[in-house]
Structure 1
Amino acid sequence: NPPHPEGKGFTREGRCTQEAGAWATQWPPVSLATTAAFLERDGHTLKVFDCPAVGMGRARLRALTKAFQPDFVFWSTATPTLSYDLNLSGLIKEAVPEAVTGVFGTHVTALPGIALENPGIDAVIRREPEQTIREICLHGPGGWQDIAGLSYRDREKGEACHNADRDLLDPEEIPAPAWRHLNITPYRLPLKGLPFLIVAPIRGCPYSCSFCTAPLYYGKKLRKRPVPNVVDEIEHNMGMFKVKNFFVWADTFTADKGYVKAFSREIVKRGLSISWTCNSRVDTVDIEMLSLMKAAGLWMISFGLESGSDVVLRLTGKNIRVEQSRRAVSLAHQLGIKTSGHFILGLPGETEASMGGTLALALSLPLDIAQFYAAAPFPGTELYKEALKRGWLQPDSLLSQDHAAMDLPGLPGYRVEAFRRYAYRRFYGRPKAIGNMLTMIDQKAVGHVLRNLGTFLKWAKD
């Protein structure tokens, strides 16, 4: 995971490409760790660097790369930092001129030709990276014409070649991440400040939200790893890394109720004392499932609420209703499960009034945390296609959930930016919200939280 241009914490993992933010959360790089597990199994010697997590800059990365002298160097990329990420190839080629370089991520999956315009990039791994990287390493620097899921520059002709898409991994094939190749100390839960790791039981998302890149990376079919394997992995990480907190990494973990119940029952059956959180959709939860999840250690659930307008929800293909959002958050709250609501401002159909409705919804719900994002038309999404077609996208605009890049009819981007700041001030400026946060902050993490909260409040006020 490359350094951030400004030395900040930054996650580049599938659809999640964002700064550490006010909560200073650096997500463990699960794609790198599962790729490492495959390569280790094949007998390769390897190193994994999560530069933002350990504060590693370009100079240090160059020195370590030169000392290691790898045959292959692969790194993740993100839309908000794409130019910087691709230009890392120059540093790698300076350190190890003969090394094969390859990049992966949702942006380069959607637009591989852009990455290959950089002369230092030899290969673009499209979609989930593990098996394609594995085959590149087995083949060596040439003979790539039959490697599925790969775009590359022919070394003799200098032309870009785009091979057929790859079939995604069967769930039984997906290995446990090889976290031992990383320093896990920097990975701390927001507010709690306690060490945590990711466990990824499911890949794929069957839904069709126009703004989301999830299907681009992991596909639309739900691929569910065997429950015993996943819980074995949790037990292993508890023993090896002394970690008791986990983020269950899945685009929509609760999409299959039967699987979630089996997962929860297995944790209870083994008597594992863990705390975990996950992402969910409001139309996939019920009281029985949430009760089982809580019994298994669920302490917080994050809902993609997106908007307080049924019109906006329909236009973006989210296909939920505001009343379902109210019900789901209420159910979790009744059970004593902390709730986090994620909202997106500036989606198609948005108006000043509908943004106000979204904020009103957030204020009316028993949410413990609220995140307000700007709609970002990331390449590979239907929103990106629509924004280009309708001329909503500002020229040379930064595509990031922290920046409103679209000018919608009657709603310019700067108004979305201003309202986003206002929404944060209104939500977190209430005594109730402050009290909720204080109940979640672990005593050991007070300094960690306060340092970053000051930066956040200054941003919201500006």
Structure 2
Amino acid sequence: MKTVVISPGIATYGAMLIGGVVREAGHEVALSTSLAAGDAEAVLLSLYSTQHLMDPEMKAFVASVRASGRPVYIGGPVSAYPEYVLGELAPDAVVVGEGEATVPRLLAGGIHPDLPGVAYVDGGKTVVTPPAPPAPVERPLPLIPDAIGQQSIRGANAYIETHRGCTGACTFCQVPRFFGREIRSRGLEEIREEVRAFREKGATRLSVSGGTGSLYGYDGAIDNDAVIALLEMLAEELGPRNVSAPDIRVDAITDEILEAIQKYTIGWLFFGFESGSDRILRQMGKGVTVAQMHDAVEQSRQHGLKVAGCFIVGYPTETAEDYTATKDFIAAEMLDDVFISVAEPIPRTPLADLVLRTPHPENPVFAPHEGEYRSLRLTEAEARWFDLSQHADMYKPLLHVVTDEVFSLYLSEARKQGEDVRRVTALIEKYDR
């Protein structure tokens, strides 16, 4: 069957992986980052953001393809809430969870109540079949687009999957709920073969993906040797300044792993700090303390690494004191870079449940800001994003000047993030309240 796998905007690893699986099953398959079905006989949409479900262009595309008599199947992270996908986009079916086994069977035999891991509408009722078993980590090579070398995701052409699962239980994250908390690591030589395939297609820089990079080889404890061997192999194939292993938990580092990151990668770490308040960290289920965060920064810098931090503002229970604690943490650590997001309640996560229990006037995403940015007419969450972005620039080691242009960009992004989160909140309220 002639099939197109569509990953809107960017060629995600998940879309490339499913493309490779479909190709291995004997189908003619193409990968696209635009909403175009061409002459494909079936369309697979790999959607990685809840925002896709509310995109009018996406809805029109699905409707037009189905009107032409061709099936549309949707998978990816959004499949964790299939009722939302069916209700908003109305595809033929949703591939729920890991789709490596389900997608080829769906293409070959269509929708069937005995097919595990699918959701569809039958007679006006939503049917969700029993979940498919976890996919094996051994798989065919992904379908890598010819233009992969031109793609940039935080500086890398692609994030490759080295393992699945996460030992954490963060309330805002769906990774452990989607892939489980057991770590399933891929074979080193299989990853090497995949890296070479990416390189042959023009990729020059790759990042390690899998939730937390240092959990590769994890079996009840951090495996220093496995992580070091992985990074060394990647450096052999790409060169050490073309490898990044960015996303790491502060409680999942060792001196040996930090030294390997310094030796075999671009030398950056991205910690998901999220908040400088121990109270909010407990609310988020982070499983770490602010003291551990400070220690992780110090330990990383002892190995000559650059440290970036990710932070979340506007968590429903975040007070002004909690927010000030986050500002204090950033000022104390003078991070090399900072990434900030307004707390987005991914459906079916504990954060989404908390948002449903929080009245709008008490939720920072809706409550109007009454402080120094009052004239800008921001919500409290938007004001905190705007303020923290400027605050972080003040404490970066290199000088960052907040010009009128930067001010306007920060203001625009703050408003966009607030609006996006309110749209997701409305979606959650529509289906789960």
Band the TM-score falls in, shorter-chain normalisation: 0.7 to 0.9
Q: In the alignment, does 2:322 pair up with 1:354?
A: yes
Given that residues 382 and 414 in structure 2 are in contact (C-alpha distance below 8 angstroms), is that contact kept between their aligned partners in structure 1? no
* Number of residue-to-residue matches in the alignment: 393
Task: Look up the match of 1:434.
Answer: 399
Q: In the alignment, does 2:64 pair up with 1:91?
A: yes
Q: Mapping of 1:166-181 within 5 angstroms? A: 166-172=132-138, 174-180=139-145
Distance in 2 of aligned mates of 1:102 and 1:407: 38
Given that residues 264 and 296 in structure 1 are in contact (C-alpha distance below 8 angstroms), is that contact kept between their aligned partners in structure 2? yes
Q: Deviations along 1:80-105, whole A, 9 cap, x unmatched?
A: 231224443113224xx221111124
- Read off the aligned partner of 1:432 and give its amino acid letter: P
Distance in 2 of aligned mates of 1:119 and 1:264: 41
Q: Deviations along 1:280-306, whole A, 9 cap, x unmatched?
A: 000111221110222222422110001
**Gap regions ≥5 residues in structure 2:** 372-377, 416-433
TM-score, scaled to structure 2: 0.81
Distance in 1 of aligned mates of 2:209 and 2:53: 24
Question: 1:267 Cα deviation (Å)?
Answer: 4.1
Q: Which of 172, 175, 183 is equivalent to 1:222?
A: 183
Q: Which of 153, 163, 166 is equivalent to 1:202?
A: 163
Distance in 2 of aligned mates of 1:37 and 1:392: 45
Q: Secondary structure at the match of 2:267?
A: strand
Q: Deviations along 1:99-147, whole A, 9 cap, x unmatched?
A: 111112434422x2233235841101112233221220121x34x1121
Distance in 2 of aligned mates of 1:422 and 1:119: 36
- Read off the aligned partner of 1:117 and give its amino acid letter: G
Q: Mapping of 1:57-206 within 5 angstroms? A: 61=36, 65=37, 67-76=38-47, 78-84=49-55, 85-94=58-67, 97-110=68-81, 112-117=82-87, 120-139=90-109, 141-142=110-111, 144-154=112-122, 157-172=123-138, 174-180=139-145, 183-188=147-152, 190=154, 196-206=157-167
Q: Deviations along 1:21-67, whole A, 9 cap, x unmatched?
A: xxxxx5x411110001111111101121112xxxxxx5xx2xxx2x4
**Greater mean deviation of Cα atoms: 299-308 or 452-461:** 452-461
- Read off the aligned partner of 2:379 and give its amino acid letter: Y
Q: In the alignment, does 2:355 pair up with 1:387?
A: yes
Distance in 2 of aligned mates of 1:419 and 1:454: 14
Distance in 2 of aligned mates of 1:456 and 1:281: 30
Given that residues 387 and 406 in structure 1 are in contact (C-alpha distance below 8 angstroms), is that contact kept between their aligned partners in structure 2? no
TM-score, scaled to structure 1: 0.76
Higher RCO (CA-CA < 8 Å; seq separation 6+): 1
Distance in 1 of aligned mates of 2:361 and 2:25: 46
Task: Look up the match of 1:250.
Answer: 210
Task: Look up the match of 2:375.
Answer: none
- Read off the aligned partner of 2:66 and give its amino acid letter: K
Question: 1:158 Cα deviation (Å)?
Answer: 4.9
Given that residues 45 and 72 in structure 2 are in contact (C-alpha distance below 8 angstroms), is that contact kept between their aligned partners in structure 1? yes
Task: Look up the match of 1:303.
Answer: 271
Question: 1:381 Cα deviation (Å)?
Answer: 0.4
- Read off the aligned partner of 1:99 and give its amino acid letter: R
Q: Mapping of 1:319-358 within 5 angstroms? A: 319-358=287-326
Distance in 1 of aligned mates of 2:27 and 2:201: 23
Task: Go from structure 1 to structure 2 and tell me whether the alpha carbon gap of 1:250 and 1:416 turns closer, same or farther (over 3 Å shift).
Answer: same
- Read off the aligned partner of 1:161 and give its amino acid letter: V
Distance in 2 of aligned mates of 1:348 and 1:314: 13
Question: 1:430 Cα deviation (Å)?
Answer: 5.2
Task: Look up the match of 2:379.
Answer: 414
Distance in 1 of aligned mates of 2:413 and 2:120: 43
Distance in 2 of aligned mates of 1:205 and 1:453: 36
Q: Secondary structure at the match of 1:283?
A: coil
Question: 1:244 Cα deviation (Å)?
Answer: 2.9
Q: Secondary structure at the match of 2:206?
A: strand
**Gap regions ≥5 residues in structure 1:** 5-9, 11-25, 52-57, 398-403, 438-449
Distance in 2 of aligned mates of 1:247 and 1:455: 31
Task: Go from structure 1 to structure 2 and tell me whether the alpha carbon gap of 1:207 and 1:78 turns closer, same or farther (over 3 Å shift).
Answer: same
Q: Deviations along 1:410-456, whole A, 9 cap, x unmatched?
A: 99x91121011011012124573436x9xxxxxxxxxxxx9x96863
Q: In the alignment, does 2:172 pair up with 1:211?
A: yes
Task: Look up the match of 2:28.
Answer: 45
Question: 1:373 Cα deviation (Å)?
Answer: 1.2
